[in-house]
Amino acid sequence: MYFSAISAFSAVNNSDQINAQSPLQLSVLISGSGTTLQNLIDRIADASLNANIAMVVASRPGINGIERAASAKLACQVVERAKFPSVADFSQQVFKICTDAKADLVCLAGWLSLLEIPPRFMAGS
């Protein structure tokens, strides 16, 4: 299954697996200015969102969202689609980074690259 929209994909199959007291671990995928990333940062800061941003993944270098991540002292990696032979290979790298960051939820926050979503991150899996 492929997605290229503002969405979120969970690595947690059952909501019971996340303790209500434990912050949700997010990976946030960005492709531009990082406005949605900033909104998540702000909601976490004002305690209206019980989450941590474990990783930011940018689809290209030099975008303003990378600067927002750096200003918030968030880990950020760039994964450029052009450096991979297929959507599947590109997607595998993006989700490997999310998995390595122990993300419970992946947020496509203005992400503009086509992705193949692995079953682990599909709702209801």
CATH code, 55: 3.40.50.170
What pLDDT score was predicted for residue 117? 93
Question: For the chain, how are helix, strand and coil distributed in percent, rounded to 5?
Answer: 35, 25, 45
Residue 50 belongs to some domain of the structure:
yes
Residue 29 belongs to some domain of the structure:
yes
Residue 76 belongs to some domain of the structure:
yes
Both tokens of 108, joined, read 């496509």
* Distance of alpha carbon 28 from alpha carbon 3, whole angstroms: 15
H-type helices in the chain, by residue range? 35-45, 64-71, 87-100
Residue 78 belongs to some domain of the structure:
yes
| Residue range 60-98, pLDDT digits in tens | 999 999 999 999 999 999 999 999 999 999 999 999 999
Kind of pairing, strands 76-78 and 8-10?
A: unpaired
> CB 33: neighbour CB atoms within 10 A?
14
Domain with 42, as residue range(s), is 2-12+23-111
Q: Total structural domains in the chain? A: 1
CB 87 within 8 A of CB 114: yes
What pLDDT score was predicted for residue 19? 52
Residue 94 belongs to some domain of the structure:
yes
Q: What is the pTM of this model?
A: 0.84
